[in-house]
């Protein structure tokens, strides 16, 4: 057993990670943004000293990609300086640090999966601030840190693309969804399991890509969500009464429409290609996350049970 400290514990990944650790009987100090401001060096040092963790997982982050373009200094304070504060505290305490990062540290122009050691070249403010955090962590803890890059996250908690698509499917809306950006939809519960595996297996410190295997577009992702939603509704119909989906033929059901990035302008440029390679996992004796469709179908029943809505892509 290890003693764990998790920052950003109320977020989507933080909640799944703390739930997994609790189920395993681990000793956890779970700190939300209200509990700990990671931009406050003295507060971070005090929190780490009080918890005496073996492992710190920094799930605290500025994740508003578009807002970072206008407020880069504020995003950097959290994603860069906050990560540096945690790294310094971990170095003083002799603790390992797991630092989740993002595909946005790359330029998004590749045509084959980015390996863990691919050159970084962020195209926007969010990516720059996350890369600053990576660099600070690796500089302070070169032999005691894990950079865990992930992308296209969804889960049962918080706002995310899956919840948005489920709400639109339930409303009978056929949204336009970008079809020329490609990546790997990834369930936060799977990322949490990979983080635990790194520590449990005493994996070599370094960079790991915690995304699902395979790839799709946002449109392909949305199609799969809509199809699952409609199938689940059909399965829940009262067959004894001979009901179908509102008496409508299946062809009339809502479904996403493919659009281009140009049709969906955003303040921050989205990577056209966010597919990450996973070679570091087998090298450490750990299996990578499996296929994105399989993971989505494992995740959807729990997400649908929680209800709620999300934001756009």
Residues labelled catalytic: 126
Q: What is d(CA 200, CA 197) in angstroms, rounded to the nearest whole number? A: 5
CA distances from 104 to 29, 92, 271 (A): 29, 30, 7
Ordered alpha helix ranges (H), the chain: 12-23, 41-51, 65-70, 72-76, 83-93, 125-140, 161-171, 188-200, 218-236, 280-283, 292-306
Q: What is d(CA 230, CA 207) in angstroms, rounded to the nearest whole number? A: 39
What are the structure tokens assigned to 201, written together? Answer: 């297996």
Question: Three-state SS string across 49-90, please?
Answer: HHHCCCEEEECCCCCCHHHHHHCHHHHHHHHHHHHHHHHHHH
- Of 6, 50, 54, 4, the C-alpha closest to 32 is 6
CA distances from 180 to 262, 274, 302, 308 (A): 10, 11, 29, 28
- Of 87, 223, 111, 104, the C-alpha closest to 162 is 223
- Strand-by-strand arrangement of the 145-150 sheet: 27-31, 3-7, 55-58, 96-102, 145-150, 206-209
Question: Three-state SS string across 145-181, please?
Answer: EEEEEECCEECCCCCCHHHHHHHHHHHCCCCEEECCC
């Amino acid at each position: 057993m290890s003693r764990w400290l998790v920052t950003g514990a109320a977020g989507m990944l933080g909640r799944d990670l703390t739930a997994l650790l609790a189920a395993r009987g681990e000793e956890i100090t779970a700190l939300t943004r209200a509990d700990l401001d990671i931009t406050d060096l003295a507060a971070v040092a005090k929190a780490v000293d009080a918890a005496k963790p073996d492992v710190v997982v920094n799930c605290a982050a500025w994740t508003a990609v578009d807002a970072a373009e206008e407020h880069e200094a504020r995003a950097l304070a959290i994603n860069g300086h906050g990560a540096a504060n945690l790294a310094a505290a971990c170095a003083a305490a002799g603790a390992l640090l797991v630092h989740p990062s993002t595909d946005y540290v790359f330029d998004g122009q590749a045509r084959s999966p980015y390996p863990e050691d691919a050159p970084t070249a962020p195209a926007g403010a969010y990516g720059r601030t996350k890369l600053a955090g990576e660099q600070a962590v690796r500089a302070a803890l070169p032999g005691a840190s894990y950079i865990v890059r992930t992308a296209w996250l969804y889960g049962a908690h918080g706002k995310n693309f899956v919840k948005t698509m489920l709400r639109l499917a339930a409303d009978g809306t056929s949204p336009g969804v970008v079809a020329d950006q490609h990546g790997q939809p990834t369930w936060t519960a799977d990322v949490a399991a990979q983080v635990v595996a790194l520590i449990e297996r005493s994996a070599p410190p370094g960079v790991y890509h915690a995304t699902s295997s395979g790839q799709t577009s946002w449109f392909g992702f949305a199609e799969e969500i809509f199809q699952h939603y409609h199938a689940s509704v059909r399965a829940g119909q009262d067959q004894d009464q001979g009901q179908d989906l509102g008496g409508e033929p299946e062809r009339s059901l809502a479904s996403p429409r493919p659009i281009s990035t140009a049709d969906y302008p955003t303040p921050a440029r989205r990577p056209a290609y966010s597919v990450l390679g996973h070679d570091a996992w087998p090298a450490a004796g750990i299996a990578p996350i499996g296929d994105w469709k399989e993971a989505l179908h494992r995740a959807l029943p729990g997400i649908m049970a929680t209800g709620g809505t999300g934001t756009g892509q």
